Structures are given as C-alpha cells and as structure tokens.
Structure 1
Amino acid sequence: MTLQVDHPAYDHSSNDVAGEFMADVLTGLAQSPPVIPPKYFYDDAGSRLFDRICELPEYYPTRTEMQILEQYAGAIGERLGEGVVLVEPGSGSSAKVSLLLRNLRRPVAYVPVEISGDHMLSSLTPLRQQFPAIDIIPVCADFTAGFTIPDVDAPAARRAVFFPGSTIGNFPPDQAAALLAQFRALVGAGGAVVLGVDLRKDPAVLEAAYNDAAGVTAAFNRNLLTRMQQELGAVLDADGFVHRAVWNAPESRIEMHLVSRHAQTIEVGGSTFRYEADDFIITEFSYKYTRAGLDALAAEAGLRVGASWEDARGWFSIQYLEA
C-alpha cells in the first residue's frame, strides 16, 4: 500500500505553537547570556533559507555528506537489510534520503518527521514520484519533544533512524546523548541509527561555513527576529542586530549570535529586555566531534558504533550505530 496524502498523516505538533514559542523566548531572553532555541529557525521562510545555505560554496557539510552517501549508500543499505522502516527526524530536503532509499532492499516505509509541515509536504512530491512502491507517512512534530511512529503494514519490520546533516551538533553533548537514547528506544532492539556528524577541523573552514559571503546565513539567523515580530508581536529593531558566528575552541563548537549594534530594547509578552552595543543573543550551537568523542557519545546513549564512513579529508563522518 502506498499512502498518498496532501497533509501530514500524523500531526503531533502542539496546538499552542505560539504559546510555546513565547514561553521559550521569554525564558531564553531572561538568561545570561540570552538564548533562543535553534528549532525556531525553521518556519517556512527559515526552512527555505536553510535549503539555500546547503547550496553555498562555503557550507561544506551538505556536499561532503552527499559525497559520502554517494560512495557508501550501498554499504549502509546492506547493513540496514531488507524490509526496513526508515524514520528521518527533521527531514527537510529529500536529496540525502533519496540516495539512501535507492540503496535499500524493499523498504517497508519512509517516515519523515518535520516541525514545518508545509515545507515537508512540498519536499515529498519528488520522493513519491521516485519511489511509488514505498509507503511514505509524514509526521508533523517537534522531534526534540518526542513522537510516535504510526503503524505500518509490516509491524514486525526493522526500524532505523536516519539523522543526517550534523543536526546532532546543535545539542550540547548531554542533550545529544539523551536524543540518541530516545532514537534507540524508538528503533528498539536490533534497530539502527544512521548519524551524520561534522568533525573538528581548521577553525577558518568552520567559521567561513557559518559566515557566507552572500549573507544567506545572516538572513537565516535574523529571520528569528522577524518571526518574533510577526508571531509574538515583539517590538524590536531587526536591523539593530547583526549576525555573527565564532569558533569556541574549549567547547568544540561554532556559536551563532545576534549582536546588538547599539543600546536598544526588545519588548515581548509584557516583558522588556535591554541590550547595550555588542551584547548578543545566542541562537545556535554547532558542536564538532572527534572520533573518540563520537564513540563516547554513542556509548552514553546505549548504542554501539557498528561502522563509520568518512570523506577523504576527514571532515565529516556517517556513523552506523546499533541499538
């Protein structure tokens, strides 16, 4: 059976998205330093901007991971075996998963999970055309809050999570381990997690990837302010903040900031937050891992590294983690 739908088949998104956004903004801006969770980048406009980021010359992770998949998707497919249910949290674009699906033996279903339902559904059209025999069951949910997998025609099928793009790097190590443990519980005994991870490298390469010359990443970052204005009624000067991305070597992470250009305030939800020139709001962490760090992360989540594949420069890794 192939499920053809024009809306998310299963919607686990909150009925009070604006309320959650407001609560997270008020809590985050009250911290020192202030922080807004990066999941709020991904409204429809933000998702489109991120798709553009993935095509930028400076942004090596996407094309490097694609090269690894092009070379090793067959090997990954062999490890996953026949009749798998493939779950992709934070699915976004279909380019990577199509490479993997092409190398799977009679997969039972593909379950994309995305916080932006409209963006997800638009990306599924080419997949349905490419893979008419695969049951595609979209789920609209914030995967960081937990979600369930709908029943499929073969309930005993093996499950695997596909989590590319180094999205795991957006979480501090303790939260990353907790998320992987959540994936382990989702796939169950005998399941697997196929994980894309960005590795530590020259800081100049890292900083360039998040400070592109075309300013797309800056627009992506500042779209957060536009969302706050449009969805929360925030009173702020969006042009009064500039994008910055810096390498924090002791923490092994890129940090994205919105930096105040001058003394100003943000008024939102009945609260006023004051900023001086050069004060900043943290909008994203992107942790970069060593190979030893990846082994430790997997072990903490109750997973075992069964195999790994890298590009020739050792910039990026795809990990096959066994539950």
Structure 2
Amino acid sequence: MNVQACVLRDDDRRPPVNELLEIVQRGLQGRIKRLPSWLFYDERGSALFERICEQPEYYLTRCEIALLDTHAAAIGDVLGPDVRLVEYGSGHAHKTRQLLGHLVSPVAWVPVEISPEPLRLSVQRMAASFPDVPMQPLCADFTRPLRLPVAPRATRRTVIYFPGSTIGNFDHADAVALLRKMRSEMGEGGGILIGVDLKKDPSAIEAAYNDQAGVTAEFTLNLLARLNRELGCDFDLSAFRHRARYNSMAGRIETHLVSLREQSVQVGRRQFAFACNEAMLVEYSCKYSREDFAALAARAGLRVEHIWLDPDEKFSVQYLLRS
C-alpha cells in the first residue's frame, strides 16, 4: 500500500472545546441565530451525508457521476501528466476514482478530510485500486491554511480538486476567500477543478434538500446532537424541525432549524431563548449560472478555462486558472 507513513496527519481537524463553545455562543447571540455548516460533519454526520447522496431526490451526485462518466478522459487530458491532486473534502472518494483512472502518471493524491474514519477507509480502498499512486492523506479542515505534504517527486502542476457542490455552502464573500486560498495553495501553474451546481427548476432544487425518507432532516438535527455531546448542551432534538427553502432572489437553498415551541437552551454557562417558530440558519446551498460563477471566480483572481456539463446540464465541473 503506497500510503506515506500509513499515518493520518491531524491539522486541528476540530477546534478545542473552548473555541467551539465560543463559536456556538457567538452564533446564538445575534438577532438572527446562525451556526456554521461545518458542524454537520462529525462521524455520524459524514455517514448521513453519504446516505443523502443515495436518495432519489438528490440529483447532484447522480449528475456529477454521469458527467465524469462522459468527460473524465477529457478532463484528464486538460490536466495533463504528473499532476499532484489535492482533494478538498474527499469523503469516501467515489468520484475521485473516476478521475484518477484517467490521469497520466499522477504524482500523488492528497485527500483532505475532516472526519478521520472516512479518510482512512477511502485511502485503503484507493490504494488497493491505484497501488502505484502515492497517497498522502491529511486529516484537516480545508477552510483553514493547510500544510501540504512534500510531493514524492517533481510535480508538473498541483490541482486543487473540490468535487460535489460544497462551494455552494459558502456565501459569496466566503466563497471568494476560499477560492483565493485555493489559488495560493495550487501555486504558479496550478489549477482548480471544482463542482458547481447550476440554477434550474426551483422545485427540483427544493426536493433535493427535503427527501421523503427524512435523511436530510436527520442530518441537520445531528448538528444539535453533536453540540449536546461535545459541549454538554441540552438541545431537545424533538423540539426542532428541519426546513429547507429555495430563495430565488438570492439563488440559494436556505436551511434552518426551526424551534417548535418557546424554549431555552443551555450552552456552556449561558442560556439562549428560542421563540416558537424561530428559525436558526445552519446552511446555504448556493446555485449559479455559468456567468454568476465566472464573476465569482474573477473576484478571486481566477478565470474559467473549461466547463464540462452532465447530459441534462444540471451540474458542472469547471477548471479555473490564474487570471
């Protein structure tokens, strides 16, 4: 197994308890309560997200896989040989397998994942399928500065791979900041290969975040279960419900946890009051037109070099270079 040191490096994949407590308290004290969406991804949250991707309403994964089935060879041709592929939020790396199989003499695959167990399992599976590709797993939060491992040999270019539609979970200012961070980490001559969900029929978008099986609701409520476990909070999960609606003006799904009654929640040494029907924002899922995303990339000093679409033109993978 060609995995460097067979050890996962941990770059502070979760904040210390006192820092996490401060983040949560700050989010709850505003006029509009808000918690960051990265709180979803503890070990159970990561497993629930894998189940979301299997739901019939969740078109995004199917569209992206169909896109790669059609275009992975062409993407590999554009990236060229001797690429170091640094993947943000690698998860179980199902889509990476399609891409990696079309890269010529890749220098290394560097999966960056905040949850250690999915990272460990994906590296084991990928190393068995690609025994000649060095694996350099990094257990870290990709939104923070990364200390990338030293490449095992000379690299023609570093490509930051950000599959799925996770860029949509950031508001526009934070998305620009993350793209600028990627631009720095890819270095001169590097590139960014990124999944971007496209604007479409709002009913199809809303259905994807409100599956009939209730997996997305369970995933959202798991955020509160995590805070109860890690911070000793006393959120009553039965007193909140998941709500996801598409805001056509802003071009995004807005996911909230809605209080079902008037209640008070203990967070550290502080109490936070929730009114009946008060909504706490926990996630954005922004959708873009091609023109929208090109303008966003330009703000980060990047230009769109190539766009690949799935057969139904619901989803895109875009390749960005320095402008």
TM over 0.5: yes
1:123-167 CA distance string (max 9 Å, x none):
222111100111101111111112121102224441001101110
Measure how far apart 1:91 and its partner are.
0.8
Structure 1's unaligned 5+ residue stretches are: none
Aligned to 2:3: 3
1:174 aligns with 2:170: no
1:27-69 CA distance string (max 9 Å, x none):
1111221111000100000000000001110000011011101
1:193-217 CA distance string (max 9 Å, x none):
0010001111110110000000000
Aligned to 2:108: 109
Aligned to 1:203: 202
Aligned ranges 1:57-96 → 2 under 5 Å: 57-96=56-95
Aligned to 1:217: 216
Distance in 2, Cα, partners of 1:88 & 1:95: 12
CA contact (8 A) 1:21 1:40 kept: no
CA contact (8 A) 1:254 1:286 kept: yes
Distance in 2, Cα, partners of 1:229 & 1:247: 29
Q: Which amino acid aligns with 2:265?
A: I
| CA 1:184–1:64: 2 relative to 1, 3 Å | same
Measure how far apart 1:17 and its partner are.
3.1
Distance in 2, Cα, partners of 1:155 & 1:44: 35
Distance in 2, Cα, partners of 1:36 & 1:313: 34
Distance in 2, Cα, partners of 1:20 & 1:136: 31
Aligned ranges 1:285-300 → 2 under 5 Å: 285-300=284-299
Structure 2's unaligned 5+ residue stretches are: none
1:211-239 CA distance string (max 9 Å, x none):
00000000000001100111100022111
3-state SS of 1:136 partner: coil
| CA 1:217–1:16: 2 relative to 1, 3 Å | closer
Over aligned residue pairs, what C-alpha RMSD do you find?
1.4
Distance in 1, Cα, partners of 2:160 & 2:5: 22
Q: Once superposed, which parts of structure 1, at least 4 consecutive aligned residues long, lie more than 4 Å away?
A: none
Aligned to 2:47: 48
Distance in 1, Cα, partners of 2:5 & 2:213: 37
CA contact (8 A) 1:158 1:190 kept: yes
Measure how far apart 1:21 and its partner are.
2.0
Distance in 2, Cα, partners of 1:220 & 1:320: 30
Distance in 1, Cα, partners of 2:56 & 2:48: 15
| CA 1:112–1:14: 2 relative to 1, 3 Å | closer
Aligned to 1:318: 317
Measure how far apart 1:5 and its partner are.
5.0
Distance in 2, Cα, partners of 1:18 & 1:93: 27
Distance in 2, Cα, partners of 1:213 & 1:102: 35
Aligned ranges 1:234-253 → 2 under 5 Å: 234-253=233-252
| CA 1:151–1:225: 2 relative to 1, 3 Å | same
Aligned to 2:189: 190
Distance in 1, Cα, partners of 2:97 & 2:312: 24
Measure how far apart 1:256 and its partner are.
0.8
CA contact (8 A) 2:14 2:141 kept: no
Aligned to 2:232: 233
CA contact (8 A) 2:13 2:114 kept: no
Measure how far apart 1:312 and its partner are.
2.8
| CA 1:128–1:234: 2 relative to 1, 3 Å | same
CA contact (8 A) 1:197 1:288 kept: yes
Distance in 2, Cα, partners of 1:42 & 1:235: 20
3-state SS of 1:193 partner: strand
Distance in 2, Cα, partners of 1:141 & 1:122: 16
Query: Aligned pair count?
Result: 322
CA contact (8 A) 2:127 2:135 kept: yes
CA contact (8 A) 2:14 2:114 kept: no
3-state SS of 2:280 partner: strand
Distance in 2, Cα, partners of 1:179 & 1:223: 26
| CA 1:5–1:220: 2 relative to 1, 3 Å | farther
Measure how far apart 1:250 and its partner are.
1.4
3-state SS of 1:144 partner: coil
Aligned ranges 1:22-41 → 2 under 5 Å: 22-41=21-40
Aligned ranges 1:236-315 → 2 under 5 Å: 236-315=235-314
Compare 19-28 and 161-170 and name the one that shifted more: 19-28
Distance in 1, Cα, partners of 2:143 & 2:57: 28
